[in-house]
Amino acid sequence: MNVGIVSYGAYIPRYRIRVEEIAKVWGANANSIIDGLMVFEKSVPDLDEDTITIAVEAARYAINRANINPEKIGAVYTGSESHPYAVKPSRTVIAEAIGATPDLTVADFEFACKAGTAAIQTCMGMVETGMIELGMAIGSDVSQGAPGDALEYTAAAGGVAYIIGKKDQVANIESTYSYTTDTPDFWRREGMPYPEHGGRFTGEPGYFKHVSSAAEGLMKRMGTKPSDYNYAIFHQPNGKFPTRVAKMLGFTSEQIKPGLVVPRLGNTYSGSCMMGLAATLDIAKAGDRIFMTSFGSGAGSDAFSFTVTDRIDEIRNRAPGVETLLANPIYINYATYARHKGKIKL
């Protein structure tokens, strides 16, 4: 394809809570949770951060990293399941804050954890057809987990922005393929503060079925195999699922290692595998091939195949990498976490 990633930017709030701290509150065994999820800690937004502020920080890094003229961005699409407004676009705030208004189109996307990759595909189509020169696709979340629920150990905060275009690509998008069915494994009804999930049902018929079908479907279409890729990223609701699906598909643990950010970050939902891709681009070399498959409950997966260009070295260090963003966390206790997440009603 003629389109690719022109720039990218990530943002992670500085606060973290450890799994032990959450487990202590609910009288759960932290070690078995860590073993089961392969997650040690998760990011927590500051009191004045939300999906929009996180998306703006990521978007500004993406713009700065490649010296993009924001007026050339013709579309901003953001995937999130924690848009601060149920009705009123988040993206207008972002578009305004990056100086891209008024000559552009914006919309909020929602598809559980894969709305961000859906936004990439939408931008690809618009760039490819010449409707726009540059499109920005963002995955950003301050995801919710009910107190005491299994999701509380992983539901994290973070965002990633990708600028999609034809010129000056840092990674060409060779192809993309999606696999979608109506599989209600996880949802949140209008007006409800926390999502509901189908427990183990979210695993086999949800995650594994869709991720593997999309991944296999794309490789079949392209005639590629796991060993053709230097790196692979799969949606990371926890550490275990992507590790297992990688193995099922024939990818090695070395291939997924750079992009497996979930153990120290948690699940950033719409930002999840896009954060893994950013972490991988942070270390990739020209010519490297990267495979990525997202997953959104409900359910669907978007698979992508990328080839890194030599421009990556030129722009990489102009914005903080994922490792930098993960460094120097501030650890908080459950009470502070509850306050940050608005779980204490004033």
Partner 1 sequence: MSVPRFWRRIKNLYNLIGTHCEKCGGFFYPPRNMCPKCRRNGIVNPFKFKGAGVVVTYTIVHTAAKDYAKLTPYILAIIKLDEGPSLTSQVICDHSQIHIGMRVKSAFRKLGEESDKGMIYYGTKFVPMEEKA
To partner 1, the closest distance from the beta carbon of 84 in angstroms equals 6
- Give the interface segment with partner 1, choosing from 41-49, 129-137, 203-211, 254-262 (CB under 8 A): 41-49
Nearer to partner 1, 50 or 282 (CB): 50
C-beta separation of 173 from 4 below 8 A: yes
> What is the total residue count of the chain?
346
Catalytic site includes residue 81: yes
- Are 211 and 89 contacting, i.e. CB atoms less than 8 angstroms apart? no
Query: How far apart (Å, rounded) are the C-alpha atoms in residues 170 and 306?
Result: 10
- List the beta strands (DSSP E) in 184-294: 186-187, 196-197, 231-234, 289-293
**Cβ nearer to partner 1, comparing 14 with 72:** 14
Task: State the amino acid at position 169 in one-letter form.
Answer: Q
Question: In the window 86-115, what residues touch partner 1 (CB under 8 A)?
Answer: 93, 96-97, 99
Among 49, 108, 185, 288, interactor with partner 1 by CB under 8 A = 49
In the residue annotation, 196 being an active-site residue is answered as no
Catalytic entry in 49, 57, 83, 113: 113
Cβ-count burial of 12 within 10 angstroms (0-12 exposed, 13-18 middle, 19+ buried)? Answer: buried
Q: Is 46 in the site for partner 1 (CB under 8 A)?
A: yes
Cα separation, 296 vs 109, whole angstroms: 12
User: Catalytic annotation on 113?
Assistant: yes
Range in contact with partner 1 (rule: CB under 8 A) among 44-52, 118-126, 195-203, 252-260: 44-52
DSSP state of 24: H
Answer yes or no whether residue 53 interacts with partner 1 by CB under 8 A.
yes
60 binds partner 1 (CB under 8 A): yes
The pair of three-digit structure tokens given for residue 114, joined into one six-digit string: 């894969």
Residue 206 or 320: the one with the smaller Cβ distance to partner 1 is 320
Q: Which of residues 303-332 bind partner 1 (CB under 8 A)?
A: 320, 328, 330
Write down the catalytic residue from 83, 197, 210, 235: 235
- How far is 199 from 235, CA to CA, in rounded Å? 17
Closer CB to partner 1, 49 or 108, in the complex: 49
Q: If 0-12 CB within 10 Å is exposed, 13-18 middle and 19+ buried, where does residue 310 land? A: exposed
Does 57 engage in binding with partner 1 (CB under 8 A)? yes
User: Exactly one of 49, 81, 197, 210 is catalytic; which is it?
Assistant: 81
Number of neighbours of residue 87 by Cβ within 10 angstroms: 6
- Please, are residues 306 and 171 in contact by the beta-carbon 8 Å criterion? yes
Residue 88 and residue 194: Cα distance in Å, rounded?
20
> Which one of residues 27, 130, 189, 346 is an interface residue with partner 1 (CB under 8 A)?
346
Residues involved in catalysis: 81, 113, 235
Residues making contact with partner 1 (CB under 8 A): 13-14, 46-50, 52-53, 56-57, 60, 84-85, 93, 96-97, 99, 320, 328, 330, 346
